[in-house]
Structures are given as C-alpha cells and as structure tokens.
A and B are shown apart, each in its own frame.
Chain A
Amino acid sequence: MSFEIGLNTFGDVPTEGGRTFSDAETVRLLIEEAKLAESAGIDVFSVGEHYREGFVDSAGAVLLAGMATATESIKLGTSVTVLSTNDPVRLYNEFSTLDAISNGRAQLVLGRASQTQSFPLFGYDLADYEQLFEEKLELFMQLQSGMPVTWSGTVRAPLVDQTLHPTMRAGGIPTWIGVGGSPNSVIRAARYGLPLMLAIIGGEPQRFAGHVDLYYRALEQFGMPRQPVGQHALGLVADTDEEAADLWWESWKPMVEQMGKERGFYAPTRERYDLELATGALFVGSADTVAQKIARMTRELRISRFDLKYDVPGLPVGARARTIELLGTEVAPRVREILAEENVNA
C-alpha cells in the first residue's frame, strides 16, 4: 500500500540562540524548509492559514509559489485553507496558477478552520460558518470540474457561464476535506467524494476510528468510490525521546496556555502532556517512537497519509530542521518497513 508522509507548517515564528526571527526571516525560512523536506524525501509540504502574531502563513498561495520555484518534485498544499472566508474564484485562480508553476504539484485541504481570525478580518460572521463553507465548497468543486460554471448563492456574486484561467489540470487538483471531529463534516466530505484529512490534536487518535467507519459507510451510501484518509497531527522528532519531549514542551506549553486563555479552558500540566505523548495525539519522540506510533495509526485508523505539523512558536530553528530530516530519512522508511512486514504477515 502506498503511504504518504507530509509536513505542515503554520509559519510559526522560530528562535535561534534565544533570538526570535522576524516575520520576513520566517517566511524565507519556510522556503528553505520546503527544500529541506524535498531533499529528505518528504512527499507533501503544506502551509496553513492564520492571521495572528507568531504565524506568517496568511498568504498560502504566495508561499507555495515561492516553494514551487525552489523545489522540483515535492507536492505542495495547504492545511487547511479556510474556505469559508476565501473566495472560491480567487482560490481557483491561485491554485491553478500554482499547479502550473509547480508543474502539477499543487493540492489543497479545505476546512472550516479552528482558528477563526479570518472571519472578522474579512468581514464574515462566525455564526454563518456552516452556510459559508457549504456554498463555497459547492462552487469550488463546480469550478474544478473544468466546465463553464453558472452558479448563484448567498455568499458571493453569481456566476454566469464562467470559465477561469489558467485552467486547472483535467479533473482538478487533489482536494481534501479537513475535519476536526464533526460527524457532519465527515459526511460532507463523503458526499463530494473527497479524501478525508482528520486533524487530531488531543486525546487518543483511535477515538476517530468510528469517524473513518462513518466516512466509508457514507461514501458507499452516496455511491462514491473509496478515498484515502489522512491524519494531521502535531509533533517533533529528535535523536532521543527525552530530548524531543523537553524541546517540544518548552515551546508548546506557552502556546497552549495562550490558547487556553483565549478560549477559556484549563492549561495543560506536564503529566497531561506526557500522557499525550504516550497514548495521545502528540507525535513527539525519537524516529523509532514516532514511526511506531504512525504505523499504529495506519492500522487503527486506516490512514494512508500522515502529516506532521512540525513547528510551534519559539521552537529553535535547529529542532525544526532535525525533525524534517529525521521524518524524511528515518521515520518514513521505518513506517513503510513496518507496513510491508505487516502485509507479508497478513
């Protein structure tokens, strides 16, 4: 079975020797990291979409275009594009252009976002998020069909017999639906016959096995062919488990505390964190530890793609680079080895 390994960045601003990078330096670093990912053998490199201090991934298509000219073979995508506050027409134009620049390496994960700064920023009402996503997905998929589109709805101006240029490759670019656990979103992905990316950022990932069942059952019900399921998770790979655990904790803790303050939830303890490493959603450890954990996910969640978000604000640049290298050169081959052994034994 083919298995894809990806890296995700939200453009988190790093440090080096205690000095915090400027935003512009971070942007340039991301291009370098995409190159490093390619040379390490990573399959896909994806950028998120955020609009807040400490994150520089607000213009995904521009970042990916920069990466496209600096690389040759790695696939380039998003994780996730906040479709609800994007214009599907603009998105099509950006990604058909990216696909042309990269010679067919563009892809997308579309979602409703868990960080929602783009709503007030672009003048959308959070209360409409469901309607916005639903209508815009419908329009975006129509545009990707390659046929002239006539569309009307409540979230943007109507289109009459509209064709866009540059045209997307035939059949459109790979488009995944990013889901955070809402059963409705799983069913929506199945309704469009689109592959499913599960964002699992807390608790035991195995909890999502039911969602994968639901997804397959829904695909059947809609008469759609089987589609791949992927997992997006956070983590870091270092030379030892201990080093990895301490490095990540130092930068992850203040970030989660800040998020907790904004959303009113309880801040994590080290005990809780250690549990997340052992049995939960964080993929932090040595190459072997992380590979074993990913292989477990392929069995229990039936995923065929795993994306690691490797950055967190304040993480030293060197730790990021090491994660990228180890994920590509040690974790990915080890996961494939384990899967091959299991297939032989099956």
Chain B
Amino acid sequence: MPKPVIGILGAGKVGTVLGRLFVAAGYRVIIAGSREASRIALTVEVLVPGAEVGTSEEVARKAEVVILALPLGKYLTIPRDALRGKLVLDAMNYWWEIDGFRDDLSDPRVSTSELVQAYLPESRVLKAFNHMGYHDLDEGPRPAGAPGRKALGIAGDDAADLETTAALVDAVGFDPVTVGTLRDSINLEPGSALFGANFERQAVRDAVTAFPETERGLLVAAARADSPWVGGAA
C-alpha cells in the first residue's frame, strides 16, 4: 500500500511531535491549528520542517488518515463532514487542567474515543498515539527489531483498520500492540497503568491483561455493569 497522506489536527505539543515522526518516516504530512493556517505556519516550518499547513477542513479533506491532536474538550469543533469516510486516529485525552472539569469526558462507562466516534459516525475512529508522553514519543522512535524499542497501544473495532494503524505505528518507530476495541480503549486513558507509560511490547500486553483487576479497571467494570452507556452524539 502506498504511504497515505497524514493529516494532523492540532499544532501543539503532541501534534508537532507526531508531525516530526511521520515526516521522518517519509510521509506527506499536513497540519492544522485551531485557527487560520497562517497562524501556525512558522511553528510548522521550524518545528516540523517538511510538513505542510492547512485549515482543519483542508487537512481533513486532503489527508487519508487524520490524527486528532487537539484538546479533547474541543472535539465538537472537529470538521465532521470533511472527515466522512476517513480513518481517524484519536490521540486525545481528557486532561482537566486544559479541558476544565467535565463529567461527560470522565464518565467511566464510556471511552472518550467512543464519544469521538459517536460525533463522527461516518468516520472510522481508532485510538492511537495517546498514552505515551509526548517527550517519550519524541525521543523514542527506533527501527523495527531494535533492542529496547518502545510499544504503543492501539484500539479499534475493525481488523483492517487496526492493521493499517499498526503499520503506521511501526513505520514511525514503535511496536504496535492492539489492546482491544474502541470500548476497551479506556485502558489507554488517564487513570490506567498505560497512561504515561513508556514500555516495551510485553509490558504493554501485561498492563492490558492486568487492567480489569486494577482499581481503575474495577471501577470501570462496576460503572458499566450498573448502567451501560448507550451512546449517541453529543
């Protein structure tokens, strides 16, 4: 498969690091900030040399794979129509110090990627690139098979899309580990042992296996058993 065009929504800490990783791996990368493209032109030129800039709409339209790297609290500003039919990788996390205190984003019954999928019903949403700190992402890429190569958990519902995403993770220098469905992706969110982790493959797998018995895992299971979230766009 030829290398897909990578779009990144968000030109902050995470977006610029991911942009560098994909440019280094030989991908065409287009980045959008929250406002006009001109506002991030210098940032992208200096921090992500080789990437292009565009508006969110342009990025969503031109790219084949779009990574969400904006504050989760702003997910309802994502250009829904332009993302129709696209593979969307959700790298966002609920971070109350940025998003404010939000009950909707911290509901243990639902993963935040499910919320994003519900808002983008005609896109294929997967969770990826969210759980490792951006400086570890920046410093961590290594070629496949290199000793000490770090792993990134990914989650999604479609086998083919998971395969595509895994290939992208591998291409930028990390071992992909599928951790489950979009519903399961709560085990990559803040509060889980994998959040902030900079582990190798086996340690990521072990953390996934251990999750149901952790304090957070038990809380999630209890909340979901009690009154399941039935979904729906916000």
Contacts and interface: CB of A to CB of B under 8 A. Distances in A.
A214 B135 contact: no
B5 interface: no
Contact of A202 (B95, B135, B190): B135
Given A184-B12, A264-B191, A207 B100 contact: no
Interface string A107-120: 00000001010000
B46 interface: yes
Interface size on B, as a range, is 35 or more
A158 B196 CA distance: 43
Contacts of A94: none
Nearest to B95: A263
Contacts of A213: 46
B101 to A, nearest CB: 7
B42 A265 contact: no
Interface string B187-199: 0011111111110
Contacts of A114: 97
Question: At the interface, is chain A mostly helix, strand, loop or mixed?
Answer: helix
A127 B46 contact: no
Nearest to B12: A182
Given A207-B139, A214-B47, A266 B42 contact: no
Interface string B172-208: 0000000000000000011111111110000000000
B47 A125 contact: no
B58 to A, nearest CB: 20
Contact of B139 (A127, A129, A204, A272): A204
B101 A126 contact: yes
Contacts of B191: 264
Interface in B10-25: 11-13, 16
A126 B194 contact: no
Nearest to B11: A183
B149 to A, nearest CB: 16
A207 B97 contact: no
Interface string B66-90: 0000000100000000000000000
A203 B138 contact: yes
Contacts of B122: none
12 contacts: A127-B73, A127-B99, A127-B100, A181-B13, A183-B11, A203-B135, A210-B47, A214-B46, A214-B47, A263-B95, A265-B133, A266-B193
